[in-house]
């Protein structure tokens, strides 16, 4: 005897996610830049979205977030991103963006000269960096002074006054050039000589006076006063009308 079950309800198709827009990409196709996938609005909400980036159509391993930083390995390649939308009870949908332009290298600042340092390497003296002409202009320059290779906190100006803490140390300065659309460049000066103690000024150092008659044939005498600390050598230089 054959028995037959009751019929099921009519077979229906699994609904498809809609809307399921084609994603787009924002960002500059240059090494070091960040690309961002713009997935659009999927529905019916909520929809779980997954990402996969490709270089010249080949999957980039591990590149499955909404953003991608372009390494030098992507140079010359076009980038695209696929977005897959998933929702329980619905057929998953994958949409792929248009490709970017081929990834290019970021230009480097040039010229980017090595800075030099002027000034005396003595406690109390002021050192000044000569950064040179960077290009293409305008270029924003930032500074960092170092003592024996160690960054000096707060020493980020073109000049540095040498405190006693720098005694015996050599000084360098790094100049970093920055410009939108270019790779930043850092150049470091040669080291100064080791910083020495300041030469103390003589004291007292009185203003000299002159004795004698200002007449032809008369003898004038310089009176230097008492200089210190003793002993010290004094030299005279006479002048007429200055």
pLDDT(107) > 80:
yes
Residue 108 lies in a domain: no
Instruction: Work out the percent of the chain whose per-residue pLDDT is above 90.
Output: 72
pLDDT at 204: 79
As a whole number of angstroms, the distance between CA 169 and CA 115 comes to 19
pLDDT at 12: 60
| Residues 180, 120 within the same domain | yes
For position 142, which CATH number holds? 2.60.40.2700
pLDDT(88) > 80:
yes
pLDDT(11) > 70:
no
Last residue of a domain, one of 37, 66, 96: 96
Residue 216 lies in a domain: no
pLDDT(121) > 70:
yes
| Residues 86, 126 within the same domain | no
Residue 52 lies in a domain: yes
| Residues 129, 82 within the same domain | no
pLDDT digits (tens, 9 = 90+) for 53-76: 999 999 999 999 999 999 999 999
Q: Are 125 and 119 spatial neighbours (Cβ–Cβ below 8 Å)?
A: yes
What is the mean pLDDT of the segment spanning 120-144? 97
pLDDT at 4: 72
Residue 220 lies in a domain: no
Q: Are 109 and 185 spatial neighbours (Cβ–Cβ below 8 Å)?
A: yes
Residue 153 lies in a domain: yes
Q: Regarding predicted confidence, which is higher, 189 or 1?
A: 189
What is the mean pLDDT of the segment spanning 33-41? 98
| Residues 80, 123 within the same domain | no
As a whole number of angstroms, the distance between CA 24 and CA 37 comes to 6
Residue 169 lies in a domain: yes
| Residues 34, 91 within the same domain | yes
Q: Are 186 and 176 spatial neighbours (Cβ–Cβ below 8 Å)?
A: yes
| Residues 127, 166 within the same domain | yes
Instruction: Work out the percent of the chain whose per-residue pLDDT is above 70.
Output: 98
pLDDT at 205: 78
Q: Which residues pair with 84 in a beta bridge?
A: 50, 94
Domain count, the chain: 2
Q: Are 172 and 189 spatial neighbours (Cβ–Cβ below 8 Å)?
A: yes
| Residues 123, 178 within the same domain | yes
Residue 11 lies in a domain: no
Q: Which residues pair with 21 in a beta bridge?
A: none
Last residue of a domain, one of 170, 188, 206: 188
| Residues 136, 73 within the same domain | no
pLDDT(100) > 70:
yes
Domain interval for residue 45: 24-96
pLDDT at 184: 92
As a whole number of angstroms, the distance between CA 133 and CA 178 comes to 13
pLDDT(34) > 70:
yes
pLDDT(189) > 90:
yes
pLDDT digits (tens, 9 = 90+) for 191-233: 999 999 987 777 777 888 888 888 888 887 888 778 777 877 8
Computed over every residue of the chain, the mean pLDDT equals 92
Which tokens hold the place of 156?
Answer: 């980020």
pLDDT digits (tens, 9 = 90+) for 150-166: 999 999 999 999 999 99
pLDDT at 6: 76
Last residue of a domain, one of 159, 188, 217: 188
Burial of 92 (0-12, 13-18, 19+ CB in 10 A): middle
pLDDT at 102: 98
């Amino acid at each position: 005897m054959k028995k037959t079950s009751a019929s099921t309800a009519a077979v229906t198709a699994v609904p498809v996610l809609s809307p399921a827009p084609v994603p787009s990409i924002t960002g500059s196709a240059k090494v070091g830049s960040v690309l961002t996938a713009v997935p659009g609005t999927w529905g019916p909400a909520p929809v779980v979205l997954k990402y996969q980036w490709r270089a010249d159509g080949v999957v980039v391993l591990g590149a499955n977030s909404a953003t991608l930083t372009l390494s030098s390995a992507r140079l010359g390649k076009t980038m695209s991103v696929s977005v897959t939308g998933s929702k329980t009870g619905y057929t998953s949908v994958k949409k792929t963006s248009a490709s970017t332009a081929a990834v290019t290298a970021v230009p480097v600042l040039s010229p980017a000269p090595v800075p030099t340092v002027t000034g005396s390497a003595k406690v109390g003296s002021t050192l000044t960096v000569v950064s040179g002409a960077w290009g293409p202009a305008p270029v924003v320059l930032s500074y960092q002074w170092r003592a024996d290779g160690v960054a000096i906190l707060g020493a980020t100006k073109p000049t540095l006054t040498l405190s006693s803490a720098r005694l015996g140390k050599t000084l360098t300065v790094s100049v970093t050039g920055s410009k939108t659309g270019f790779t930043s460049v850092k150049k470091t000066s040669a080291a100064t000589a080791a910083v020495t103690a300041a030469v103390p000024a003589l004291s007292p150092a009185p203003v000299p006076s002159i004795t004698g008659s200002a007449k032809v044939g008369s003898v004038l005498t310089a009176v230097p006063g008492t200089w210190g600390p003793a002993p010290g050598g004094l030299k005279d230089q006479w002048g007429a009308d200055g």
